[in-house]
A = this chain, B = another copy of it.
Amino acid sequence: MKVVMAQRILRANDQVAKENRERLQRLTTVNLISSPGAGKTTLLEKTIAALKGDVVISVVEGDIYTTRDAERIAGQGADVVQVNTEGLCHLDANMVGRALDHLNLAGTDLIVIENVGNLVCPAEFDLGEDYKVAVLSVTEGGDKPAKYPLVFRQSHAAVINKSDLIPYTDFDLETVTREIMTINPDLEIFVISARTGEGLEKWCAWLRDRVREKKN
């Protein structure tokens, strides 16, 4: 595990995002965005384990101060670079570009960027990824897509996580799915419990297909 510290943004984000995208031409890149505690890291741990031997995943871990998430991902045997934003509330393309310098890109099929836990700011920054994926946990409540529409509008897929807790909450899956589709009808929606593994296979199949598609 390596640690990269954030530096002042020296160049316009979109230009650097374009450069990242050129570097990642043969790779598939997914940018995971959610509130703190929606379960991005657990989802990623389980995804790495499920795709092992099939898709080689490398990870860029965005965190404000700690290396906790990166340690968990390294525990899965994946190559991981920690980007420490030092207080900043989102990753930008510069940080990701510098993180890519530390990854073995030639030996990677899929890069997953785990953004800082924040449902607002990360949606505004193109990192050079192919797909933004919004992760929403059922315990956050079903009103979140309407309250934070930008991230759902910008995303290609949405993971509704912690489905094992639906019976203990007021979360109405049908209504929320309808609300999400109103914001972005093209969104692929996956209902998952990263903790129990429920629904994980469909999500992994989607990732596998995206990787194949990009390679051909």
Contacts and interface: CB of A to CB of B under 8 A. Distances in A.
Q: Is the interface of A mostly helix, strand, loop or mixed?
A: loop
The complex is assembled from copies of this chain, and their number is 2
Contact of A36 (B87, B148, B162, B164): B148
Interface stretch (A1-9, A114-122, A125-133, A202-210): A114-122
Nearest to A195: B170
B139 A165 contact: yes
B116 A68 contact: no
Nearest to A169: B165
Interface stretch (A58-66, A74-82, A99-107): A58-66
Contacts of A169: 165
Interface residues of A, number: 34
A121 B140 CA distance: 19
A89 B89 CA distance: 10
Contacts of A38: 140
Contact of A120 (B64, B68, B146): B64
